[in-house]
């Protein structure tokens, strides 16, 4: 125990000066991270809604492709998928000129599958009685969906959707392996130069954390708004 304690390299534990000095460089990386994250959130959500609805279709030729897509994306690591996109696809003549764009495509396509599952499960968790009440009031499928089901499903979908958003932000770090100069890539660059891994990775971790705290803040606000019709809402 004592031996381990004395082996700690205190001077390398956290170098505030280095952290502050490298902050502008890291924030430039964060900008790229946020660009990828922002577009990936939007694209994965939109694609996820289509996939989720397709997954519930009565028509097998719509349902099955959606099912297979979701199963594949959920069952394969994002990192592997990004490698396939960036290093594999050139084999069939598809080449990404921009690594950032490849990152957006990879993260979006992957997280769309998770979004689809959230869409599906939250629509299914609206009680059957709501469909029946709407039907008995002569509302058709589209009217029932837009006026009755989706508003309630949205409330249910909020927490898991925001979890996905946080995962998207963190998932963008995998784009560093295809040379995208995002936050993690920048941190690794400096740590390689200064040999101070601890300081750089802890700083990067803290920045990711702050971003997720901000996302969590929006989640809280939206949840409050959507819960207002429940009498036990805080």
Partner 1 sequence: MIEVTSLKKSFDNVEVLKSIDFTVNKGEVVCLIGPSGSGKTTLLRCLNLLETPDAGTIAIGNSRVSFNSILKKREIKEIRQYSGMVFQGFHLFPHKTVIENLVTAPITVKKDNKTTVKQKSEQLLEKVGMSEHKNKYPDALSGGQQQRAAIARALVMEPEVMLFDEPTSALDPQLVREVLKVIEALANEGQTMVIVTHEMNFAKRIADKILFMDEGYIVEQGEGNQVITKPQNHRTKEFLSLLEED
- Which residues contact partner 1 (rule: CB under 8 A)? 127, 129-130, 132-140, 143, 147-148, 151-152, 155, 228-232
Shortest distance (Å) from residue 184 CB to partner 1: 41
Q: What would the two tokens of residue 113 be?
A: 């599958």
Considering beta carbons, is residue 193 or 225 the nearer one to partner 1? Answer: 225
CB of 225 to partner 1, least distance (A): 11
- How many other CB atoms are found less than 10 A from the CB of residue 53? 16
Closer by beta carbon to partner 1, 100 or else 149: 149
CA–CA separation, 151 vs 173, rounded Å? Answer: 33
* Cβ proximity to partner 1, 221 vs 225, nearer residue: 225
> Closest approach of Cβ 47 to partner 1, in Å?
26
Alpha-helical runs (H) found in the chain: 2-6, 10-13, 16-55, 60-75, 78-83, 99-124, 128-136, 141-143, 150-171, 183-194, 197-226
Q: What minimum distance in Å lies between the beta carbon of 46 and partner 1? A: 23
| CB contact at 8 A, 49 and 119 | yes
DSSP assignment of 149-184 equals IHHHHHHHHHHHHHHHHHHHHHHGGGGGGGT---HH
Nearer to partner 1, 21 or 132 (CB): 132
CB atoms within 10 A of CB 103: 32
Q: How far is residue 145's CA from residue 137's CA, in Å, rounded to a whole number?
A: 14
Q: How far is the CB of 58 from partner 1 (least distance, A)?
A: 13
**Shorter beta-carbon distance to partner 1: residue 97 or 231:** 231
* Closest to partner 1 by CB, 9 or 231: 231
Distance (Å, rounded) from C-alpha 119 to C-alpha 164?
12
Structure tokens belonging to residue 18 = 């280095």
User: CB 158 → partner 1: shortest distance, Å?
Assistant: 13
């Amino acid at each position: 125990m004592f031996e381990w304690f004395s082996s700690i390299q205190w001077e390398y534990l956290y170098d505030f000066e280095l952290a502050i000095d490298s902050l502008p460089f890291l924030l430039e990386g964060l900008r790229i991270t946020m660009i990828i994250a922002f577009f990936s959130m939007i694209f994965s959500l939109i694609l996820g809604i289509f996939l989720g609805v397709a997954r519930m279709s009565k028509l097998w030729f719509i349902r099955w492709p959606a099912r297979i897509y979701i199963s594949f994306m959920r069952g394969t690591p994002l990192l592997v998928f990004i490698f396939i996109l960036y290093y594999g696809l050139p084999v069939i003549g598809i080449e990404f000129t921009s690594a950032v764009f490849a990152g957006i495509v990879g993260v979006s396509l992957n997280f769309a599958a998770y979004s689809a599952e959230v869409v599906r499960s939250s629509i299914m968790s609206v009680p059957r009685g709501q469909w029946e009440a709407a039907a008995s009031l002569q509302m058709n499928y589209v009217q029932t969906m837009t006026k009755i089901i989706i508003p309630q499903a949205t409330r249910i979908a909020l927490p898991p959707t925001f979890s996905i958003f946080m995962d998207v932000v963190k998932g963008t770090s995998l784009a560093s392996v295809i040379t995208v100069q995002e936050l993690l890539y920048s941190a690794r660059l400096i740590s390689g130069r200064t040999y101070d891994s601890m300081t750089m990775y802890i700083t990067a971790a803290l920045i990711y954390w702050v971003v997720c705290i901000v996302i969590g803040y929006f989640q809280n606000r939206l949840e409050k708004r959507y819960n207002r019709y429940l009498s036990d809402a805080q």
